[in-house]
Amino acid sequence: MELDEKKYLYLLFLLPLLVLVFLFNMYWKRKKQREFGDLELVQRLSPESSVFKPILKLAVLLLALTALIFGLVNPKIGTKMETVKREGIDIVFAIDVSKSMLCEDVAPNRLDKSKQLVSQIINQLGNDRIGIVAYAGSSFPVLPITTDYSVAKMFLQSMNTDMVSSVGTSLDEAIKLSATYFDDKKTSKLLILVSDGEDHSEGAEAAAEEANKLGIKIITIGVGTPNGGTIPLRRNGVMEGLKRDSNNEVVITKLNSESLTAIAKATKGGYANGANTKEVIDYVKNALNNIEKTEFEATQMADFQSQFQWFLGFAFLLLFADVFLLERKTKWVNRLNLFNEKEK
């Protein structure tokens, strides 16, 4: 058995506190009864009052809270062990998150269009391993190589132009960082570089040639238009102006397909224009079909099943029962006189 969210176990420390609060409340009630008058006389004036029922209600409440806490912890039981073999390739997506990707010459903007393209490509994959890199003036590892596509999409959607602090675009840094993701020398390697092609550094082609020596093929996807557009600056969704250069001139950013084509050519890869999503998907699928698949190392995997629903169901059942559990004596139990109480 494994516990999915162990941090919620700390909530169990609340249970002793509830017991202390209950005992203090009982003490306070007794004290007030003694102040009111003779304790035995007070008890005679309230014959329906039960000492046992409040304790029972507390026990039911504590048991219900314990079940709720274990429901939050979500215990998982391993049902079987199996050997999983995967056959595919390693793919790294390097996505440009520089400010120029905020340009809206493609809808809704270049960055969102890039994320749509990558998400659609992931949907077409089978047993391939994938990783994600973000880059602008420097590169940032977003997600290491994994087979969990749902997690990859989650990280993909969270990408924005503020996650890399350095300005500009450095394609060579993106290629160098992506190359470090490929940890298996035997597996076929593919880097999919998504950008508008504006490169403020030198050495992108040289970095691509080094990647080619490592057996990495690069496919570049250009996002933007040759005519380009301005870069809107927004705060909380409200446009505050346009990005300007050091001379206070409005910056116009354009798609540079030539640089992207040169990078892909250096690794015998290819370039695709991101304007048409279907054409990009078809191009990548065709490229994947022509890349040799290799078998990943077999690993032991446990198939765990969540058990939280049982704990939550038991907790709600106890809480429902607690609603009908009154603190006064139950008449039929009182008639049994289980504790040989003398009738007053």
For the entire predicted model, the pTM comes to 0.62
Q: What is the pLDDT of residue 339?
A: 44
Same domain, 13 and 137: no
**Residue 87 pLDDT > 80:** no
Q: What is the pLDDT of residue 257?
A: 93
H or E segment to which residue 1 belongs: none
- For 214-253, b where at least 16 C-beta lie within 10 A, e where not — what string? eebbbbbbbbbbeebbbbeeeeeeeeeeebeeeeeeeebb
Enclosing domain of residue 16: 2-79+304-336
Residue 128 CA to residue 143 CA, distance in Å, equals 15
Q: What is the pLDDT of residue 333?
A: 47
Q: Which distant-in-sequence residues (6+ apart) come within 8 Å of 122 by Cβ?
A: 130, 149, 152, 153, 156
DSSP 8-state assignment for residue 230:
E
In a domain, 341, yes or no: no
pLDDT digits (tens, 9 = 90+) for 187-227: 899 999 999 998 877 789 999 999 999 999 999 999 999 99
Q: Which residues pair with 239 in a beta bridge?
A: 234
Same domain, 313 and 247: no
Between 166 and 152, the higher pLDDT residue:
152
Query: What tokens does 14 get?
Result: 């609340």
Between 93 and 183, the higher pLDDT residue:
93
Same domain, 115 and 46: no
**Residue 104 pLDDT > 90:** yes
Same domain, 182 and 220: yes
The winner for highest mean pLDDT among 6-15, 28-37, 38-47, 71-80 is 6-15
Cis, peptide link before residue 54, omega less than 30° from 0: no
Specify the number of domains making up the chain: 2
Same domain, 123 and 39: no
Look at 39-53, 215-229, 255-269 and tell me which has the smallest mean pLDDT: 39-53
